[in-house]
Amino acid sequence: MGIELESASKSPSLGRVTLEDVAHLAKVSPATVSRCLNRPESVNLDKRARVNQAIQTLGYVPHGAARALASKQSRMVGAVFPAIDNTLFGTSLDAFQRTMADADYTVIVASSDYDPVREKQHVRRMLQSGIDALMLVGLARDEETYELISAHAIPYVTVWRLSGEQLHPAVGFDNRAAAEHLTGYLFSLGHERIGVLSGILEHNDRAQDRLAGVRDAYAKQGRTLADNDLIERPFGVEQGREMLRLIMSQETPPTAVVCGAEPLAYGAIFEAAAQNIDVPGDLSVAAFDDTWLAGQISPKLTTVRTPNMEIGEEAAKYLIATLSGVQPPLPRPLETDLIIRESTGRPPAG
């Protein structure tokens, strides 16, 4: 009997550990190993044990691309947000990713910078990467993007807004109604002119909805929003300050402003302080989002709480259900709450 250290067949410990290696060690066929990975209950207990043992000792890690190619499922999903460097979308992304990870999905993320062209590029890239599903913010994009997605026949969901005619599955809330409610509250306080500090409206249907809501509230009062009382700028504290300066520089400025997003409101509040404009004494300030700062800043911000986390979670759940073959009911609209704090009050007398 000679010495024979190396197995006669495939050379071991060289390069990647494959499923076939596991099969050899466990003395079963590759097919069985595959079954252990995907539908363990269809494999005998003892074989399953042998296979798991082999996986363990070899440190086998399945090859995702190979699985994806053979099974036509990558267990990756995509999400493109207008921005990912702020708390607002960050919270959604976090919940989305968390929920997806729990269902053993990996998430690819990208930021479109509020630009539909970049968004389309990202969608294309993600589609190439083989995503099984996709999450997009809002509904405002050209038909081509939707066609791209449906050409790949993957489920998708839009978030942060409701789909008017339910053309697309949407997880979100009614921005317009929320804005109308908020503005209505301001009117009920006695304000007659309410300015709007908006984000850039182009390509941003959420912002457009909110503006429409403000206009609805105006209409209910038999009034209309003056052109001078609407300003739009990119989201940011500095821009909030600038817009407040602008709007308050009118001979008779509005007595309240609705801000399209919270950073704008903080800017407005800071600038008001700098200009000795008392909030809410001289000017009421209200906004949307109810981010961590809203209840801490002074004066505490009156704002519409939007379901940022729920959006990410529900969107993920919807996609997961769809991917598992369950045809989930179209997601219900999410709730918003008007949180009345200190930054709003009656208009100054006179």
Partner DNA sequence: TTAACATTTGAAAGCGCTTTCAAAATTTAA
Partner DNA sequence: TTAAATTTTGAAAGCGCTTTCAAATGTTAA
CA gap 55, 38 in Å, rounded: 14
Asked if residue 57 binds DNA (CB under 7 A), the reply is no
Of the residues 53, 56, 57, 71, which one makes contact with DNA according to CB under 7 A: 71
CA gap 240, 99 in Å, rounded: 34
CA gap 252, 285 in Å, rounded: 17
Backbone φ, ψ for residue 111 (5° rounding): -115, 130
Instruction: Tell me, residue by residue from 215 to 254, as one string, x for binding to DNA by CB under 7 A and - for no binding.
Output: ----------------------------------------
Of the residues 10, 20, 188, 346, which one makes contact with DNA according to CB under 7 A: 20
**Closest to its own copies by CB, 31 or 69:** 69
Least spacing, CB of residue 103 vs DNA, in Å: 17
Of the residues 12, 56, 69, 102, which one makes contact with DNA according to CB under 7 A: 69
Asked if residue 3 binds its own copies (CB under 8 A), the reply is no
Number of residues lying near DNA (CB under 7 A)? 29
**Closest to DNA by CB, 60 or 218:** 60
**Closest to its own copies by CB, 109 or 246:** 109
Widest Cα–Cα separation across the chain: 110
Asked if 330 and 320 count as a contact pair (C-beta separation under 8 A), the reply is no
Asked if residue 54 binds DNA (CB under 7 A), the reply is no
Structure tokens at 7: 């197995």
Asked if residue 15 binds DNA (CB under 7 A), the reply is yes
Least spacing, CB of residue 62 vs its own copies, in Å: 6
Site for its own copies in 208-267 (CB under 8 A): 236-237, 263, 266-267
Asked if 123 and 134 count as a contact pair (C-beta separation under 8 A), the reply is yes
Give which of DNA, its own copies, none residue 43 binds (C-beta under 5 to 8 Å, depending on kind).
DNA
Give which of its own copies, DNA, none residue 321 binds (C-beta under 5 to 8 Å, depending on kind).
none
Asked if residue 18 binds its own copies (CB under 8 A), the reply is no
Instruction: Tell me, residue by residue from 30 to 49, as one string, x for binding to DNA by CB under 7 A and - for no binding.
Output: xxxxxx-xx---xxx--x--
Of the residues 18, 52, 87, 221, which one makes contact with its own copies according to CB under 8 A: 87
Site residues for its own copies per CB under 8 A: 59, 61-66, 68-69, 74-76, 83-87, 90-91, 93-94, 97-98, 101, 104, 106-111, 121-122, 124-130, 151-152, 236-237, 263, 266-267, 270, 273, 292-293, 296-298
Site residues for DNA per CB under 7 A: 15-16, 18-20, 27-35, 37-38, 42-44, 47, 60, 62-63, 66-67, 69-72
